[in-house]
Amino acid sequence: MRKKLVVSLWAAAMAACSVQPPASTARVPDADPRFPGFLAGYLTREALVDSLALLPPPPAQGSAAQAADDAARRKAMRWRDTPRWQWAARDAELRFPQAAPSFACALGVPIAPTATPNLAILLQRTVADAGLATYRAKDHYKRVRPFVAAGESMCDPTHETMLRNDGSYPSGHAAIGMAWALVLAELAPDRVDALVQRGLAFGQSRVICNVHWQSDVDAGRLVAAAVVAQLHSQPAFVAQLAAARAEVQAARAAGLRPDSDCEAERKELLIREAL
């Protein structure tokens, strides 16, 4: 996520301190009117997970850990200009409704404002909570992204300029993807394997896209676990989680299925393709 967006999200997340009713029609403020589709999170700015305290420093130049990151980047380039590369570009999109289908196949039911409105809001609001939680470490370390360090391209050129000056460690997308997977697994525990695999693949897309190092992604997943645990202390989150669970159960009972090509997704996003 670009820096200007993050600053706006940080400011707006403070407005989320009051308990929001679970109804899908409840007014949840946009994070910033210039960025429609990004809603304020459930946590206040002060309550966000402190990623700087949580995480170790990123690998130092010349270290064995950095050498492993370099090797992972080179290995990931085997997916360049393949369908998996294209999936990585799709996974870069966090705006709704475009991002809504990302986990629908793993969940087994549609994720949309019409079919599952509370679930759609739940995922939109956790974008702010998980994504913003990475920025204390990001802003402190200001790690250079791999496509910049190597002088290469990345899978989503439309975001290249925005990402050049945005810190690489930890990965906000990886944190968001794993947070989504963990939250969804609570709604459909029988789908936990598919959902966590999708969360892992969502983060791995950032390595394949050449915008994050492997250690960035691994650290983002750790932030996600802390954020999801923390969210359970928020009454608004707990209420919306319960409403979303009822929607998933109703969608299953009605036989609703995702509109996505789930077989194509399964082939391209298998965990065995991860690094």
pLDDT at 232 over 70: yes
Q: Is 212 a catalytic residue?
A: yes
Q: Is 206 a catalytic residue?
A: yes
**Catalytic, out of 136, 143, 159, 206:** 206
Tell me which residue of 111, 270, 262 sits closest to 180, measured CA to CA.
Answer: 111
The predicted structure's pLDDT at residue 13: 34
Binned at pLDDT 50, 70 and 90, residue 229 comes out as: very high
Q: Tell me the average pLDDT across 141-154.
A: 93
Q: Are 212 and 145 in contact (CB under 8 A)?
A: yes
How far apart are the C-alpha atoms of 223 and 131, rounded to whole Å? Answer: 9
pLDDT at 249 over 70: yes
> What does pTM read for this prediction?
0.86
**Catalytic, out of 30, 69, 91, 216:** 216
**Catalytic, out of 143, 145, 173, 198:** 173
- Torsion on CA atoms 118, 124, 129, 134, rounded to nearest 10: 150
Q: Going by C-beta distance under 8 Å and a sequence separation of 6 or more, which residues neighbour residue 129?
A: 13, 41, 42, 43, 48, 179, 227, 231
pLDDT at 210 over 50: yes
Binned at pLDDT 50, 70 and 90, residue 211 comes out as: very high
Binned at pLDDT 50, 70 and 90, residue 27 comes out as: very low
Which superfamily, per CATH, for 3-11+82-273? Phosphatidic acid phosphatase type 2/haloperoxidase (1.20.144.10)
The predicted structure's pLDDT at residue 230: 96
Range in 112-116, 144-148, 205-209, 242-246 the model is least confident about: 112-116
| Domain locations in the chain as residue ranges | 3-11+82-273
Q: What digits encode the pLDDT tens for the residues 9-24?
A: 333 333 333 344 454 4
Q: What digits encode the pLDDT tens for the residues 39-78?
A: 889 998 889 999 999 999 999 999 999 999 999 999 999 9
Q: What digits encode the pLDDT tens for the residues 29-48?
A: 555 443 445 788 999 888 99
Tell me which residue of 233, 269, 272 sits closest to 82, measured CA to CA.
Answer: 269
Beta strands in 130-219 (DSSP E): none
Q: Is 27 a catalytic residue?
A: no
Q: Is 140 a catalytic residue?
A: no
Q: Tell me the average pLDDT across 152-177.
A: 91
How far apart are the C-alpha atoms of 217 and 175, rounded to whole Å? Answer: 8
